[in-house]
Amino acid sequence: MIRFLQTPGPIKKIVLGGILLVICVMMVITLIPGGGFLNDMFGGSVTQSGLLAKVGNQEVSLLEVSEQARLIGRQQFKGQSVPPQLMPYLMQRAAQGIITQKALVYEADRMGLGVSDDELRGYLHQGQMGQMIFPGGTFIGQQAYQDFIQSQFNMGVQQFEQEVKGEIAQRKLLALISGAVSVSNKDVAGQVQKQGVKVKFDYAVLTLDDMNKQIKPTDAELKAFYEQNKQQYANSIPEKRKARYILIDTAKLADKVSLSPAQLQQYYHQHQDEFRIPETVTVRHILIKTPAADANGKMDQKGVDAARAKADDIEKQLKSGANFADLAKKNSDDPGSAQDGGLLPPLTRGRTVPEFEQAAFNTPVGQTTGVIRTNYGFHIIHVEGKQQARLKPLEEVKSQIEPLLKQQQVSGEAQKLADSVQARARAVGLDKAASEKGLLILTTDFIAQTDSVPGVGDAKDLVSALFAAKKNDPPATAPTSQGYAIYQVIDIQPPQTPTFEQVKVQIEQQFKQQRAQALLAQKTQELSDRAHADHDLKKAAKELGATVKTSDLVDSNAQVREIGPMNGAATVAFSMKPGEISGPLQGGPNGVVLTVLEVQKPSPEEVKQNWDKAKETLLEQKRSDFEGLYVQGLRDRLEKDGKIKINKAEMERLSSPSEGT
C-alpha cells in the first residue's frame, strides 16, 4: 500500500494523520459481522500469481499486502519482531484494508470527486508538510523535492502524488456521504450529563508487588511448572555456528593508493555539473498571511483587506527608516525566518512562487520592494546580496574529489584482493591463502545470529552469510563495514531446549507472575465481598491489608493514581450512587474496590459550556458508524458488480505462515 509508512522518522506522521481517517473506516469494515475475509471471496476472479485482487483498474499485490502487514505488526509490537503465527491474521487484515481503500478511491473517481493538481498543491502547502516543501513560502526545487520524497517516503514523486491524491479523494467521498449526519438535542443533553458528572470516592488498593512477595515456590513446584510449560522453551537456545575467516581491511590498503593529476582532471571534467554554482539571491522578507479559503474555495475578504492594510503600514514604516529585521521579527507570519529578522537561505530560480522570485531577482542589492501578493499573503522583500552563476575551478574542489577517487580505488583494490584470496582459499585452503597474502586468519567461538563477530563487530551481511552456508562449504566472501571477509563454516550447533537449571530464574519469575496475578484477582474479589457484606470498605481493607485512599472530585477524563484513567474499569463509578461499593476492578497492575462518597452533576453553566464539545463527540461517533455501514455496502456492491475481483488461490495463501515471514 503506502510504503513510506515503513520509513522511520517524524515526517511520515504528516501524511499518516490524514490516512488514519481511512484506516479507521477500514478497521470498522473488517470487524463487521458478515464483512469478514472469507465472505469477500466472490464477485469475479483473477488468477495472476502475486496479484491478490483488482479494484477497477487498481491492483492489490501480495508484496503490497506483505509490506502493510509488517507495518501493522511493527506498530502493534512497538518495533519488536512479530510472532510468525500472527502474520497470516495480519496479512488478511492488511489485504481487506487495502481492498477497501482502493474501493473508496474507485468510487470517488466514479462520482467525479477526482483531485486536481491545484488541489494537490494546496494540500502540500499545508501544515508541517508545507514547511518542509515550501519553507518560508518558497518551493525547495524539483530535485530537492524528488530527493525529499525518496528519502522520507521511499518512493518516486509520481507515486507519492498519486497516493496523496487518492487520500484526498477518499476524504472528499467520506465527507460527502457523512455530511447529512445529525444528532438530536436530547442525545446531546445526555452526552453532556455523562461527560460532566464528577465523583469523589474512597478506594482500596491491593498491588501485584505485594502478592508477588507472598509467593515462595519450592524447587519441586518450579520443576513441575517447567515440565508443564516445557514446550514454550523448546529450542529457545538458538542455533550457533563456528567459523574461520580472513579479513580484508580497506583502511590498510589506503596507504598503497595514489592519485595522478590526470585522474583528478578527468573526474572534474566528467562531473562539472556537480561543481556549478547557480545564480542565487539572498533576501529578508516579511510575510503577512491571508486567510485560507474555505471548503467552497471562498476567501474571507475582510481578512484579506486587514492583511493588506497591515502590510501597507509596515511598508510606510520602512520608508520612514525603520529597521527591516526588527519589523520582520515583530510582524512576519513566517515562523521559519521571522526569528532571524526575515532572513531566508540563498534562493535559486524555480524554488519559490513566480511573483516572489521575479521581485527578488529583479530588485538591486540593498533595495526593498513594495508590497507583493502571492498565494501565501502579502510580502515585502529586502535584497541582501546576489551571487552570479559560475563553475568552481578544479583547485577549489580538489579536496572534495581526492577522497572520493581514493575511496573508489581502495574499494576496487579490496574487491580484487578478496576475489584473489577466495580463489586461492578454494584451491589450497584458508590457511595457505592467508599466508600467501600476509593476512591473518581468525576463528570464532560458537556464535548466534545476534552475536558480534570478533574483529568485525556488527557485521550483519557476514553473519547472514555464515548462517546461510553449510558446514565445510568452499570458502566464500561477504562484505563487512571494514571491507571483506573470506569465510568458511567449520561447525554447527543446532538449536537446543534448555535444562531446568539453565532457565530456573526465568521459570521462577514466570511462576511467581502467574500465581501473583491469580492471587491478586482472588484477594480483590474477597475484598469486594467483605466490603459488601459489612457495608464497610475500610474495615474490609484493614482485614486484608489493602491501602485505602481518597480521590479528588474527578471527571471521566481524569487519571487517578493506582487506578489509571477513569474512562477504563473505574468508569463504573459514574453510574454509582453515594455509599455504593463496586465489584473488583483492575487498575493496571493493581486490584481496586471503590465506594462513592459524592456525585456532582454538571451545573447549567457547565452544560452550556460543554454543549458544543459533547455534540461534536456524538457527531463523530455517528459519522463513524454511518461511514462504516456505507463502506461495507460499497464493498458488497462493487463485488457483486464484478468491480472487485479476487484471486482465490493467492488469497488462500495468506493463511499460510510462510507468507508473513
Q: What is the pLDDT of residues 361-408, one digit of tens each?
A: 999 999 999 999 988 899 999 999 999 999 989 998 888 888 888 888
Distance CA 543, CA 534 (A): 12
Q: What is residue 47's predicted lDDT score, i.e. its pLDDT?
A: 59
The full DSSP string for 262-275 is HHHHHHHHHTGGGG
Q: Residue 40: is it exposed, middle or buried by C-beta count within 10 angstroms (0-12/13-18/19+)? A: buried
Q: pLDDT band at residue 78, thresholds of 50, 70 and 90?
A: low
pLDDT digits (tens, 9 = 90+) for 156-203: 888 888 888 888 888 888 888 887 788 888 888 888 877 788 999 999
Q: pLDDT band at residue 520, thresholds of 50, 70 and 90?
A: very high
Kindly report the pTM of this predicted structure.
Answer: 0.46
For 325, residues 6+ apart whose C-beta sits below 8 A from its C-beta are 284, 341, 342, 343
Q: Which three cell numbers stand for residue 215?
A: 509467593
Arithmetic mean of pLDDT, 37-41: 30
Q: For residue 61, tell me if it sits in a domain.
A: yes
CA distances in angstroms from 335 to 102, 121, 130, 307, 343, listed in the order given = 38, 21, 12, 17, 11
Determine the residue type at 200: K
Is 139 in contact with 350 (CB distance < 8 Å)? Answer: yes
In what order do the strands lie in the sheet containing 644-646? 58-61, 51-55, 644-646
CATH at 160: 1.10.4030
Arithmetic mean of pLDDT, 411-425: 92
Q: What is residue 79's predicted lDDT score, i.e. its pLDDT?
A: 60
Q: What is residue 187's predicted lDDT score, i.e. its pLDDT?
A: 87
Same domain, 106 and 20: yes
- The C-alpha torsion from 598 through 603 and 606 to 610, rounded to 10°, is 80
Is 524 in contact with 537 (CB distance < 8 Å)? Answer: no
Same domain, 464 and 347: no
How many residues does the structure list for the chain? Answer: 661
Same domain, 64 and 150: yes
| 198-207 and 590-600 strand pairing | antiparallel
For 533, residues 6+ apart whose C-beta sits below 8 A from its C-beta are none
**Residue 429 structural domain:** 240-259+404-493
Same domain, 483 and 515: no
For 546, residues 6+ apart whose C-beta sits below 8 A from its C-beta are 204, 205, 206, 527, 540, 593
Distance CA 584, CA 350 (A): 67
Number of Cβ within 10 Å of residue 104's Cβ equals 26
The share of the chain scoring above pLDDT 90, in percent, equals 40
Mean model confidence pLDDT for the chain: 84
Distance CA 353, CA 138 (A): 6
Same domain, 79 and 227: no
Domain end position, chosen among 493, 525, 542: 493
Domain end position, chosen among 388, 423, 455: 388
Number of domains in the chain: 4
The share of the chain scoring above pLDDT 70, in percent, equals 89
Q: For residue 273, tell me if it sits in a domain.
A: no
Same domain, 32 and 141: yes
Does residue 502 carry a pLDDT above 50? yes
Same domain, 16 and 79: yes
Same domain, 337 and 463: no
Q: What is residue 550's predicted lDDT score, i.e. its pLDDT?
A: 96
Arithmetic mean of pLDDT, 585-602: 91
Q: pLDDT band at residue 38, thresholds of 50, 70 and 90?
A: very low
Same domain, 317 and 411: no
Number of Cβ within 10 Å of residue 138's Cβ equals 26
